[in-house]
Amino acid sequence: MKKVMLLAVMLLAVRAAEARDGSLEDRVRRLERAVERLEDRCGERGDDRIVVEPESEIWTCVVSGGKEKFYGNGETRGLAEKDAMEQCQKTSNICRLKQCSNE
């Protein structure tokens, strides 16, 4: 009786492992298909690669100080914002960041 129970448990374990392996293979196939579709949509297959131009290394920020605008430049957004704020604070007590860009 113990041998039969042991064989039954082993058979269930083998079937469960086979089921997991099958579902894993299905998941891998679905992921591979999804990646292929994304590559097709992005045009990244073969010679049709997308060329991404590097972003500008100079940031520009505009700060409003009352009726005046102050511009700051820097290699990072933080440096550009700091530059504009320092210029504004020399002449105004109210300084508000309007916008920053690296275009």
CA 47 to CA 77: how far, in whole Å? Answer: 35
Low-confidence ranges of the chain (pLDDT < 50): none
8, two tokens: 């039954």
List, for residues 46-68, the tens digit of each pLDDT value: 555 555 556 558 899 999 988 88
Write down the domain spans for the chain: 1-52, 59-101
* Total Cβ atoms within 10 A of residue 87: 18
- DSSP three-state, residue 2: helix
* Total Cβ atoms within 10 A of residue 95: 19
pLDDT at 30: 80
CA 70 to CA 63: how far, in whole Å? Answer: 5
What is residue 68's DSSP assignment? E
pLDDT at 15: 67
